[in-house]
Amino acid sequence: MAAWRLSPEPLCSAAVPPVRSEQIEVHLFRRRPRRVEFLALRRSALHTLPHVWQPVTGKLRRGEGALEGARREVFEETGLEPRRWWALETVTIYFDPGSGVVRVLPLFAAEIGAADHPRLSAEHDDHRFLSAREAARRYLWRSQVTALEAVRREVLGGGRRARALEVTERMERDGARRRPKRTA
């Protein structure tokens, strides 16, 4: 009887690219009489994707959780501290050809006050409060349009799902220890 030998041929297809979750996306909105407005930010000319409109996006720092990173990025990019937060059940997944990595972004929705105004970081040079339809027309990426639809369906529709997805208490509990640092 012949001994079993490891075949030089692979037993399966090519390796699956690594999957990483190192970025977040936050859709800020405010409620106005008879309408909801989303905050759209325009990237400045000095950054990648100049003049592209987008929600708040950012990279997580080493050891930072998605909720903590979302809070920090919102504050850094807009100076705002939302009153309510939701972790959407929808996520964004895309392939990054530069690194050969599949990226998974947790998506968040956050409600700000009706009279709140952002203080933009150098990363952005303009902002607009827009209806979901108007924001969708400005966004470059289809995934961000899909995320707007998810906010409308999962959060603004209210009900049990919106209550289940709300993470405001967790943000407040964890935020007491880790408030974003104010910069001049």
- How does pLDDT run along the chain (184 residues), one tens digit per residue? 556 666 666 555 567 889 999 999 999 999 999 999 999 999 999 999 999 999 999 999 999 999 999 999 999 999 999 999 999 999 999 999 999 999 999 999 999 999 999 999 999 999 999 999 999 999 999 999 999 999 999 999 999 999 999 999 988 887 644 555 555 4
For domain 19-175, give the fold: Nucleoside Triphosphate Pyrophosphohydrolase (3.90.79)
Measured CA to CA, the distance from residue 12 to residue 39 in angstroms comes to 46
Contact between residue 40 and residue 133 where contact means Cβ atoms under 8 Å apart: no
Report the predicted TM-score, pTM, of the whole model to 2 decimal places. Answer: 0.86
Amino acid at 101: V
Residue ranges of domains in the chain: 19-175
Measured CA to CA, the distance from residue 169 to residue 30 in angstroms comes to 19
Measured CA to CA, the distance from residue 114 to residue 98 in angstroms comes to 40
